Amino acid sequence: MGDGQTWAEILSIGTELLMGEIVDTNAAWLASRLPPLGITLRWVTQVGDDLGDLTYALRQALGRSQVIITTGGLGPTADDLTREAVAQVLGETLTVDDALLAHLQAYFQRRGVPMAQANIKQAMRIPSALPLPNPRGTAPGWWVEQDGHIIVCMPGVPHEMEHMWNNEVAPRLQQKVRGTVILTRTIKTFGMPEGSVGELVQEFFGKENPYLGIYAKPDGIHLRLIARAPSRAEALSLLQPVEDAIRQRLAPIIWGVDDETPEKQVGALLKENRWSLAVMESCTGGLLASTITDVAGSSTYFRGGAVTYTAEAKIAHGVDGRLIETYGVVSPQVAEDMARAVREGFQADFGIGITGVAGPDPLEGKPPGTVFIGIAWEGGTRSVAGRYPPDRNLVKRRAVMHALLELHRTLAQRVRG
Amino acid sequence: MGDGQTWAEILSIGTELLMGEIVDTNAAWLASRLPPLGITLRWVTQVGDDLGDLTYALRQALGRSQVIITTGGLGPTADDLTREAVAQVLGETLTVDDALLAHLQAYFQRRGVPMAQANIKQAMRIPSALPLPNPRGTAPGWWVEQDGHIIVCMPGVPHEMEHMWNNEVAPRLQQKVRGTVILTRTIKTFGMPEGSVGELVQEFFGKENPYLGIYAKPDGIHLRLIARAPSRAEALSLLQPVEDAIRQRLAPIIWGVDDETPEKQVGALLKENRWSLAVMESCTGGLLASTITDVAGSSTYFRGGAVTYTAEAKIAHGVDGRLIETYGVVSPQVAEDMARAVREGFQADFGIGITGVAGPDPLEGKPPGTVFIGIAWEGGTRSVAGRYPPDRNLVKRRAVMHALLELHRTLAQRVRG
């Protein structure tokens, strides 16, 4: 691939996509990984399990894109036609690859299940296709180079595809593609309104390169820098000084960058300082604990949680019943006491308590979306109120993000002393 | 639109899609709503905010599809080019529609915010475009009919698009399209391997109409029936008898149909029988409780849960420490005792206990993906083992589905007595 723009196209293959049975998350996942490689995604096409439509889409893609990435259609059934379509479009013949077949048979042997005749199909390839190993499934991928085009075929199962992309495809593309490198850096803040954040970095807006955008997200205000240059080094030299200046101005409210999440950042701070955490949740119903434990290694700092959906359960877990009587179960006082009680109950350094109204019905006359978050530590508690859109699942997700970011703030303050 | 096949195509418009910043959920949402209207979706294309690419995609769509549905690109900014592209492709001129403009100004007035100059663009239309009201936003949609083609333009914001589809677009398409109506029915089973399920309904495979497909999913084996006919009534008369026959053969293992979920079905059974539930989870870290409480009204049967990430926490919640010593924390004995302990602790009718290895590291020499699920009721407990792919989040999701389906089985048996 020469200099300048490298156009890419994604073909998401499968009739289940066109029937609306599954959402094409693969395309978005891949799309976000192309710009850093200097590849510009121009088209995404969803096409069904139809040989005619598949070959049509592939021919069109060859006519307008240098890099063509397909997902899906590599299974063992008669519907899986990606291999056949690529062979037909390139005028090559499919034959069984003995090495692939042996590998496939070994895969089934390891699992102690007999290999069906149908699976032999997955061991087939065309001469110009380099097989890409798929340790997470039975469908090997293909890497095909022809006339300045690269065709990559990957399975549709997300965790198989992602593993293959990271280990086989991305490194090869890095070698091949010499396009305009696009570097992005997202700086994530919390605790200041969008307008005020914008004012603090006003002077960096309206520039072409690096371009600065500002976005309001459930986990705070994000600033995204985009730099374009012929090489990674040049792009970085454009991006770095602006990033440093922004970091300096927003230091106290920055909690993370890029794909860092509140749960990862909270986990890192807890781990570094050998602190432990326990949570008691009502309206979030376990989503807070589940989000915390999505992070690998969370068992080193997460002691556990209680989902106390009833007042009795809260009292049984150490919450002062008089506070519930006096202030109601949806109150800052009860949120703080839940944090205190669970912290003591699990003998943790920090505790979080969440109480609120997930909806659809109001509670104690408070509308859905009303949430109180309590945080407890050695010798202190505090609470914040949240008001979110009155959608049950939105309330749960927003409240969890909010609680984690408030905890991060408390932890960061402790670290700074 | 005459008889026979009516082909549709979706254009999802927006560079943020191609940058991987958002997932195109609109396409899947729309896709699932076309078959009942007798419309077959053949292509979905994601295209950026580029006038050239947009007109290219529209011309191509006009060449191969009778119904073209676009989402996105109707905003007030310079990037929003859907109106311009349609005008160009149809060779018509955009002019301000006074009624639309008045409506737009009223919209801003109601919200007490000044209307920006840029928004005037949203009041423009071409002569052949019928404006579609958008009570949820500022961007009206377009309904365009020309030379046997229908072009529908809708906003990209999901809750605006969905409202416009339900109230403006779907009814009009119902009028216009006389295509083949496609009815589908998905029957969801659990507790029998795919091969055995297949054998029981063998005779219904290999027919064209209704077509029967079988699929292995995280929540069990799904059977999908697809019937095609000129009218909804005729399609139903094809589908119903086969569905009834399948239901009869698989009755004991069917847990739901279509978009029913294990958490909804478990909730329904608990509610009907006035039973209550409590859960103690280790490796799923709160996801089980969170999934249960995703269901509106779950507070009527869900007493609460404990996330006991450590052995100490399990013991503190009533689990017998000797069982942990003897069998290890990841064992059927501990899973059953967790179920028993949490059932008693929350005074619930049923209890679930989950213990296992989410990974990435092994535990007690057991590999990631090893999970034991315990279920407890008045006077009894049982447990099942699960082995899932060793991916942390996959293990959590699979174990939760498995636990809910095992509980559903237990509840269904109790109901049958």
Q: Are A256 and A262 in contact (CB under 8 A)?
A: yes
Helices (H), B91-148: 98-111
Which of A150, A176, A202 is at the close of a domain? A176
- Pick the residue with more confidence: B335 or A221? B335
Which of A257, A279, A294 is at the close of a domain? A257
Distance, in Å, from the CA atom of A332 to the CA atom of A324, rounded to the nearest integer, reads: 10
Residue B101 lies in a domain: yes
Number of A:B CB contacts under 8 A? 201
Percent of chain A with pLDDT over 90: 72
| Mean pLDDT score, A147-168 | 95
> Where does the pLDDT of residue A5 fall: very low under 50, low under 70, confident under 90, or very high at 90 and above?
confident
Nearest by CB: A310 against B22, B290, B304: B304
- Pick the residue with more confidence: B118 or A147? A147
Q: Are B120 and B101 in contact (CB under 8 A)?
A: yes
CB neighbours (10 Å) of residue B250?
18
Q: Domain residues for B191?
A: 181-257
CA distances from A104 to A134, B4, B8, B110 (A): 10, 43, 39, 65
pLDDT at A19 over 90: no
Which residues of chain A neighbour B17 with C-beta distances below 8 Å? 27-28, 31, 44
- Pick the residue with more confidence: B244 or B21? B244
Distance, in Å, from the CA atom of B366 to the CA atom of B283, rounded to the nearest integer, reads: 13
Q: What's residue B4's pLDDT?
A: 65
CATH code at B249?
3.30.70.2860
Q: Please report which helix (H) or strand (E) contains residue B85, including its range.
A: helix B82-90
Which burial class, exposed, middle or buried, applies to A329 when counting CB atoms under 10 A from its CB (0-12, 13-18, 19+)?
buried
| Mean pLDDT score, B189-206 | 88
Find which of B5, B9, B17, B19 to mutate to test the A interface (most A CBs within 10 Å of its CB): B19
Residue A266 lies in a domain: yes
Residue B361 lies in a domain: yes
Distance, in Å, from the CA atom of A406 to the CA atom of A253, rounded to the nearest integer, reads: 11
Distance, in Å, from the CA atom of B48 to the CA atom of B50, rounded to the nearest integer, reads: 6
* pLDDT tens-place string over residues A355-384: 999 888 899 999 999 999 999 999 999 999
Q: Please report which helix (H) or strand (E) contains residue B297, including its range.
A: none
Residue A366 lies in a domain: yes
Whether residues B116 and B248 fall in one domain: no
| Mean pLDDT score, A195-203 | 90
Whether residues A242 and A272 fall in one domain: no
pLDDT at B296 over 50: yes
**B300 touching A (Cβ < 8 Å):** no
> Where does the pLDDT of residue B385 fall: very low under 50, low under 70, confident under 90, or very high at 90 and above?
very high
Reported residue count of chain A is: 417
Which residues of chain B neighbour A285 with C-beta distances below 8 Å? 289-290, 292-294, 298, 302
Inter-chain CB proximity A346 and B48 less than 8 Å: no
> Where does the pLDDT of residue A2 fall: very low under 50, low under 70, confident under 90, or very high at 90 and above?
very low
CATH code at B369?
3.90.950.20
Q: Are B88 and B28 in contact (CB under 8 A)?
A: no
- Pick the residue with more confidence: B188 or B117? B188
Q: What's residue A318's pLDDT?
A: 96
Q: What's residue A4's pLDDT?
A: 65
Percent of chain A with pLDDT over 70: 99
* pLDDT tens-place string over residues A290-321: 999 999 999 999 999 999 989 999 999 999 99
**A138 touching B (Cβ < 8 Å):** no
Whether residues A251 and A278 fall in one domain: no
pLDDT at B193 over 90: no
Find which of B22, B293, B315, B387 to mutate to test the A interface (most A CBs within 10 Å of its CB): B293
Inter-chain CB proximity B313 and A346 less than 8 Å: yes
pLDDT at A1 over 60: no
- Nearest by Cα to B408 from B388, B372, B379, B384: B384
CA distances from B189 to A12, B215, B247, B271 (A): 28, 10, 10, 21
DSSP states of A243-305: HHHHHHHHGGGEEEETT--HHHHHHHHHHHTT--EEEEESTTTTHHHHHHTTSTTGGGTEEEE
- Nearest by Cα to B61 from B80, B78, B41, B33: B41
* pLDDT tens-place string over residues B45-102: 999 999 999 999 999 999 999 999 999 999 888 889 999 999 999 999 999 999 999 9
Whether residues A206 and A164 fall in one domain: no
**B355 touching A (Cβ < 8 Å):** no
Name the average pLDDT for chain A. 92
**Cα-Cα-Cα-Cα dihedral sign, residues A217, A219, A220, A221:** negative
Inter-chain CB proximity B20 and A43 less than 8 Å: no
* pLDDT tens-place string over residues B323-341: 999 999 999 999 999 999 9
**Cα-Cα-Cα-Cα dihedral sign, residues B333, B335, B341, B343:** negative
Q: Are A42 and B53 in contact (CB under 8 A)?
A: yes
Instruction: Give Cα A248 to chain centroid, integer Å.
Output: 27
> Where does the pLDDT of residue B1 fall: very low under 50, low under 70, confident under 90, or very high at 90 and above?
low
Instruction: Give Cα A61 to chain centroid, integer Å.
Output: 28
In B119-217, DSSP assigns E strands to 124-125, 129-132, 141-146, 149-154, 181-189, 211-217
CA atoms within 13 Å, Cβ hemisphere of A377: 12
pLDDT at A216 over 90: no
Inter-chain CB proximity B31 and A24 less than 8 Å: no
- Nearest by Cα to A350 from A259, A284, A288: A288
Nearest by CB: B302 against A24, A34, A309: A309
pLDDT at A3 over 60: no
Inter-chain CB proximity B31 and A43 less than 8 Å: no
User: 3-class DSSP state for residue A186?
Assistant: strand
- Nearest by Cα to A34 from A229, A186, A169, A208: A169
Distance, in Å, from the CA atom of B211 to the CA atom of B221, rounded to the nearest integer, reads: 17
Nearest by CB: B290 against A19, A159, A290: A290
- Distance from the B371 Cα atom to the nearest Cα atom in chain A, whole angstroms: 16
Residue B411 lies in a domain: yes
Total domain count, chain A? 3
> Where does the pLDDT of residue A87 fall: very low under 50, low under 70, confident under 90, or very high at 90 and above?
very high
Residue A349 lies in a domain: yes
- Nearest by Cα to B133 from B160, B106, B157, B109: B160
Which residues of chain A neighbour B310 with C-beta distances below 8 Å? 299, 303-304
CA atoms within 13 Å, Cβ hemisphere of B52: 2
Whether residues B352 and B235 fall in one domain: no
Distance, in Å, from the CA atom of A227 to the CA atom of A211, rounded to the nearest integer, reads: 7
Whether residues A204 and A333 fall in one domain: no
* pLDDT tens-place string over residues B3-56: 568 899 999 999 889 988 888 999 999 998 898 888 889 999 999 999 999 999
Whether residues A210 and A285 fall in one domain: no
**The pair of three-digit structure tokens given for residue B342, joined into one six-digit string:** 């949490």
Distance, in Å, from the CA atom of B269 to the CA atom of B148, rounded to the nearest integer, reads: 50
* pLDDT tens-place string over residues A250-275: 998 999 999 899 999 999 999 999 99
Helices (H), A39-137: 51-64, 82-90, 98-111
**B265 touching A (Cβ < 8 Å):** no
Whether residues A210 and A342 fall in one domain: no
Inter-chain CB proximity A42 and B23 less than 8 Å: no
> Where does the pLDDT of residue B2 fall: very low under 50, low under 70, confident under 90, or very high at 90 and above?
very low
Look at the block and give the residue holding tokens 């592939």.
Answer: A58
Residue A1 lies in a domain: no
- Nearest by Cα to A138 from A162, A168, A118, A152: A118
pTM of the model: 0.78
- Pick the residue with more confidence: A135 or A2? A135
CA atoms within 13 Å, Cβ hemisphere of A268: 10
Which of B176, B193, B223 is at the close of a domain? B176
CA atoms within 13 Å, Cβ hemisphere of B210: 28
Whether residues A217 and A274 fall in one domain: no
Whether residues B24 and B170 fall in one domain: yes
* pLDDT tens-place string over residues B155-186: 998 989 999 999 999 989 988 887 678 888 99
Which residues in chain A (314-333) have CB-CB distances under 8 A to chain B?
A: 316
CATH code at B24?
3.40.980.10
* pLDDT tens-place string over residues A328-345: 999 999 999 999 999 999
Q: What's residue B391's pLDDT?
A: 84
Residue B191 lies in a domain: yes
Whether residues B161 and B213 fall in one domain: no
DSSP B363: B
Q: Is the ipTM of this complex over 0.90?
A: no
Whether residues B97 and B204 fall in one domain: no
Distance, in Å, from the CA atom of B375 to the CA atom of B381, rounded to the nearest integer, reads: 5
Q: Please report which helix (H) or strand (E) contains residue A329, including its range.
A: none
Q: Letter for the amino acid at A84?
A: E
